[in-house]
Amino acid sequence: MRLGFIGLGAMGRPMALQLLRAGHQLELWARRPDSLRPLLEQGARACASPAELAGCAEVVFTMVTTSDDVAAIALGPDGLIQGAPAGSIHVDMSTISPQAARRIAGRLAEKDIAMLDAPVSGGVAAARAGTLAVMVGGEAGIFSRVRPLLETLGKTIVHVGGHGAGQVAKACNQMVMVASIEACAEALRLAAASGVDAGRVRSALLGGAAGSVVLEVFGGRMAARDFQAGVEARLHHKDFAILMHEASRLGCPLPVAGQVWQQINALMAHGWGGLDSVSLLKVLELAHA
Amino acid sequence: MRLGFIGLGAMGRPMALQLLRAGHQLELWARRPDSLRPLLEQGARACASPAELAGCAEVVFTMVTTSDDVAAIALGPDGLIQGAPAGSIHVDMSTISPQAARRIAGRLAEKDIAMLDAPVSGGVAAARAGTLAVMVGGEAGIFSRVRPLLETLGKTIVHVGGHGAGQVAKACNQMVMVASIEACAEALRLAAASGVDAGRVRSALLGGAAGSVVLEVFGGRMAARDFQAGVEARLHHKDFAILMHEASRLGCPLPVAGQVWQQINALMAHGWGGLDSVSLLKVLELAHA
């Protein structure tokens, strides 16, 4: 199938490669043309703008950072909306606000362009392995058509509901994940304060009711004191701004998420936004110093 | 081996049964003799006091509720210390404070009775299946001798450190677990407030970086709105009192655990201590009503 892909960052690059390896023709556009090179060498083709790209693809994927990025690519002067044929599909896999996803979908619908919000979880390792969790919002008929493509990228593909529902699920995902990272950091901090080996505590917890992907992956980084980025904390900071704003808009109290948010703010204030979110442990250690 | 077992509650009963089925001779004592009957029918023997029980067992297990319960059984007038031969071992599998565990171990050591703190995680289902996670504190030599018995009860047996280290690990376990239950409740509450199906959000999250035993088990109960007890919330309330007191004693800040504690207090204030801790979701719903 002729596909478009925009957003060749740490996550997007391996995802685009999966689609290419699955035998699809891939049209690319990037703000920084340098980032295209590895994929061009594998047979992808460069376009001059999102509008041109949209003109030669049945389905366009975007994987960028902010709501504004997606809006500019989809609706801007040289945006997808200027070139996409009626009946084509835009699948946005970025993590943006549910409200922005609904608004962009509404604008594209006016030109008979379908949209799905389809953010992912699992990180770079899962992107490389094609084992991401994909949370999809949008029309069921469109989801059915795109599903085989999503199965190239992920192993858990769930149609959560209408437009924005994928982003709601992703907000929930980030809340649970970062709250778990913080809880794990507090547990290992308490262990250390008690004179008990944090790594052994983690091992003891892994087999019980506190067992989780976060304890396995992020707890492992904490025990090894590896604060280099798997996922940069500044991205979780961005995600929390989205979800806490959404909760505020809905009048939905999230007491623990609110407290986690303040810990992430403390992390950012220390200048650690480029490190992994396991640096939440360092925030606790400073407070204790 | 001749073993003693005290504390035949929801967790203790299936654990005692595992030991009996593994071919050990089991001496029992209970405050309420009624609770002994099912095990006596399977060949266990009743004793008149903890002291008498200790006199005919090489290793005595206790599985009760509070630090005071363990102290009374171990050190009270008719306690284990009155009858246990030098060289015998007391394995306390209750969840109590690390300080209490260290204090009791110290008193027993004066009579050459060894002690391990060996609290567990996994709940009644894991107790029945013999697949508990067991977190052990105490001397390595004693741990080695008792390990085969613990393997009858659990599948993850970790020697965490010296006296009290098992209880520190258990405090960490409860913190991470209940914080995860609360985070899960907040996520599903946000989903519902957004008009998105909570069950589908849970399914979407299970395959990603937010995946956990809590999301699987407790998230499933929340999606099904099953608030009946798996583990009664009042026990988590007790566990949080222990761990927050311990953190305070050590001057160790636990911002998210502190917030979780207040949500559990709200749950208790609503009279829901006999329900499952997934009732934390109901606390959020009331606040939103």
> Beta-carbon neighbour count of residue A34 at 10 Å?
9
Q: Is B155 a catalytic residue?
A: no
To which residue do tokens 């924005």 refer?
A: A164
SS3 (DSSP) at B59: strand
Three-class secondary structure of residue A209 per DSSP: coil
Residues A55 and A110 placed together within one structural domain of the fold:
yes
Residue among B135, B154, B252 minimizing CB distance to A288: B252
- Tens-place pLDDT, residues A64-97: 999 999 999 999 999 999 999 999 999 999 999 9
Angstrom distance (rounded) from CA B1 to CA B22: 10
- Of these residues, B111, B155, B170, B238, which one is catalytic? B170
Confidence at residue B229, expressed as pLDDT on a 0 to 100 scale: 78
Express each pLDDT in A199-257 by its tens digit. 999 999 998 999 999 999 999 999 999 999 788 999 999 999 999 999 999 999 999 99
Please check whether residues A193 and A144 belong to one and the same domain: no
For residues B66 and B96, is the Cβ–Cβ distance under 8 A? yes
Q: How many CB pairs under 8 A join A and B?
A: 292
CATH of the domain at B270: 1.10.1040.10
Which domain-ending residue is among A162, A197, A219? A162
The CATH number of residue A74's host domain is: 3.40.50.720
Q: Where are the beta strands (DSSP E) in B110-209?
A: 114-117, 120-121, 132-137, 154-161
pLDDT for res A229? 78
Is residue B109 domain-shared with residue B201, that is, in the same domain?
A: no
For A138, the 3-state DSSP assignment is coil
Domain total of chain B:
2
CA distance B261 to A63: 38
Q: Tokens at residue B93, please?
A: 């599998």
Shared-domain flag, residues B26 and B144: yes
Based on the domain organization, do A225 and A114 belong to the same domain?
Answer: no
Residues B22 and B121 placed together within one structural domain of the fold: yes
Chain B neighbors of A206, CB-CB under 8 A = 133, 156
Instruction: Answer whether B158 sits within 8 Å of A204, measured CB to CB.
Output: yes
Domain boundary among A127, A162, A197: A162
- Claim to verify: residue A180 and residue A144 sit in the same structural domain: no
From A130, A145, A162, give the residue that closes a domain: A162
As a whole number, mean pLDDT of residues A262-272 equals 98
- N-term to C-term CA, chain A: 58
pLDDT digits (tens, 9 = 90+) for B164-212: 999 999 999 999 999 999 999 999 999 999 999 999 999 999 989 999 9
For residues A68 and A182, membership in a common domain is answered with no
Q: Which helix (H) or strand (E) holds A80?
A: helix A80-83
List the domain range (segments joined by +) for residue A219.
168-288
A211 and A140 both lie in a single domain:
no
- What are the tens digits of pLDDT across the range A2-26? 999 999 999 999 999 999 999 999 9
ipTM of the complex: 0.94
Measure A281 CA to nearest chain B CA, in Å: 11
B213 contact residues in A (CB cutoff 8 A): 208-212
Say what the pLDDT of residue B219 is: 97
Asked if residue B76 lies in contact with residue B20, where contact means CB atoms within 8 angstroms, the answer is no
Nearest by CB: B208 against A156, A189, A250: A156
| Domain identity same for B121 and B191 | no
Tell me: do B96 and B219 sit in the same domain.
no
DSSP A84: P
Q: A218 and A146: one domain?
A: no
Q: Output the pTM of the full model.
A: 0.94
C-beta separation of A275 from A232 below 8 A: yes
Mean pLDDT of the A166-172 span: 98
CB–CB contact B176 A180 (8 Å): yes
pLDDT band per the 50, 70, 90 thresholds, residue B230? confident
